[in-house]
Amino acid sequence: MGRCPQCGEWNSLVEQVSEQAPRGLSSVPARGGAPVEPVAIDQVVEDSPESRIQTGIGELDRVLGGGLVPGSLVLLGGEPGIGKSTLLLQALEGITRSGCTVLYVSGEESVSQTAMRARRIGAVSSGIELLAETNLERILSAARNRKPVVLAIDSIQTVHTDLLESIPGSIGQVRDCTARLLGYAKTENVPTILVGHVTKEGSIAGPKTLEHVVDAVLQFEGEGASPYRVLRAAKNRFGSTQELGVFEMVSGGLGEVLNPSRLFLAERSVGAPGSVVVASAEGSRPILVEVQALVAPPSAGVGRRTAAGVDGNRVSLLLAVLAQRASCDVISQDVFVNVAGGVRLAEPAIDLGIAAAVVSSARGRAVDARTLVFGEIGLAGEIRAVTLPELRLAEAAKLGFTRCLLPEQNRKRLDETHGLDLVGVRHVEQALDLL
């Protein structure tokens, strides 16, 4: 049957031999084989931050929430060639600097090929043990014999178990191998990192339950022609999902970008209409980026919207607000919005920046290059307060900005101006007139 009679989806049925299939998580024995007893929550001793395993890569540790948690299962996904294996090797080399041993299992490369790549990026360490294997039973046997501090598998789509007859990479194989690796991680208290392939739609290949099983899902993103990479957490049981890590691909591997704001603004077109600098906050990190907009006559008689780095639906909403509340109707024209540098922004604090860039392009008048904006726009055109205004202003002051338009409610609550001329605004039309 090609179609599921329950949900109606095509090509979603997978044959699985039930009598040979392991029972998944229910087959994982209790720690030490002893009966499991419930524990009162106030009697549980919380792990200290020192118990986390540091990778030596600050940007990666930031996204993980401070490092790898013992016994956790982490899924690292990204487009082919984005640098997942490079990041993994560099992280493992950083872990071994404390004198411990890690096990790197490659199902896509031979041992010599992996070693060649490690030498190229300077990630050679006697603490990294390599294993070219795709059979799950042999992988688990080697891991239990070697007792590594961290187990890494590249990639989960190549691993298969003899208990299933389906081919490696199928839904049944990926799901069951992940469940058994989770059992190993929890039983042996060994953090395990899985590399996952990404489908054409941009989601991690395999069943959606794969992301529910693991403790953390890290997405490695980047434009094909750009050397910059962004690491973000789509899920993290042990930390925030709002943190962002920025890397640059160089000849010696991946380098950390400690000041992404300066990087994203390095090639800004000063004095050009349609260019506005906004202050976004990814977790506890403020990032200043350039939002670009271009308003042009409709090419097909009907205005179209193109957005890169921001939500297209949010752009359409802001265009409607501008037409109704700010006397700037560009709905019938082509509108293009782009976040320079390939970074993707999702928080509503960038609304005022998008609106200002669109109006600047439509009117052909540039915004002052030393002016920063941030604020959420409501449907009535009001400017709403946002979180972490102090961090955004401090970052702007470091980069030489002298003026900032921000929500009036944020302006009232600030104790320090950081040397900036702060202008509180209540309505989008007021903000646009000031800009």
Last residue of some domain: 258, 284, 306? 258
Q: Which of 234, 258, 282 is the last residue of a domain?
A: 258
Q: Which of 10-19, 186-195, 242-251, 336-345 has the lowest mean pLDDT?
A: 10-19
Q: What are 89's two structure tokens? A: 């090797």
CB 355 within 8 A of CB 264: no
Rounded to whole angstroms, how far apart are CA atoms 371 and 402? 6
List all residues 6 or more positions away from 7 whose beta carbon is below 8 Å from its beta carbon. Answer: none
pLDDT higher than threshold 80 for residue 351: yes
The residue among 48 and 201 whose pLDDT is bigger is 48
Higher pLDDT among residues 406 and 268, named by residue: 406
- 235 falls within a domain: yes
pLDDT tier at 372 (50, 70, 90 boundaries)? very high
Same domain membership, residue 268 and residue 247: no
Indicate the average pLDDT of the chain.
89
CB atoms within 10 A of CB 239: 19
Q: In sequence order, what are the residues at sequence separation of 6 or more whose Cβ sits closer than 8 angstroms to the Cβ of residue 322? A: 328, 329, 330, 355, 358, 359, 428
Do residues 271 and 315 share a domain?
Answer: yes
For residue 18, pLDDT beyond 80: no
pLDDT category of residue 27 using cuts at 50, 70 and 90: very low
Picking from 215, 237, 258, the residue at the C-terminal end of a domain is: 258
Indicate which CATH number applies to the domain containing 366: 3.30.230.10
d(CA 94, CA 88): 10
Are 192 and 269 contained in the same domain?
A: no
Residues 164 and 303 grouped into a single domain:
no
Chain position carrying tokens 């950081």: 418
Q: Would 17 be classed as within a structural domain?
A: no
The answer to whether residue 15 is domain-embedded is no
Counting the structural domains of the chain, the total is 2
Let me know whether 214 and 300 are in one domain: no
**Interatomic CA distance for residues 344 and 405, integer angstroms:** 22
pLDDT in tens, 390-432: 999 999 999 999 999 999 999 999 988 899 999 999 999 999 9
Q: In this predicted model, what pLDDT tens digit does every residue of 53-106 receive, in sequence order?
A: 999 999 999 999 999 999 999 999 988 889 999 999 999 999 999 999 999 999
Residue 12 domain-assigned? no
Domain with 423, as residue range(s), is 263-434
Is residue 127 within 8 Å of 100, Cβ to Cβ? yes
- Tokens 């726009």 locate to 377
* pLDDT given at position 201: 59
In a domain, 13, yes or no: no
pTM for this predicted structure = 0.77
Mean pLDDT of 239-267: 89
Of 145, 139, 153, nearest in space to 104 by CA:
153
pLDDT at 225 over 80: no
Together in a domain, 275 and 407: yes
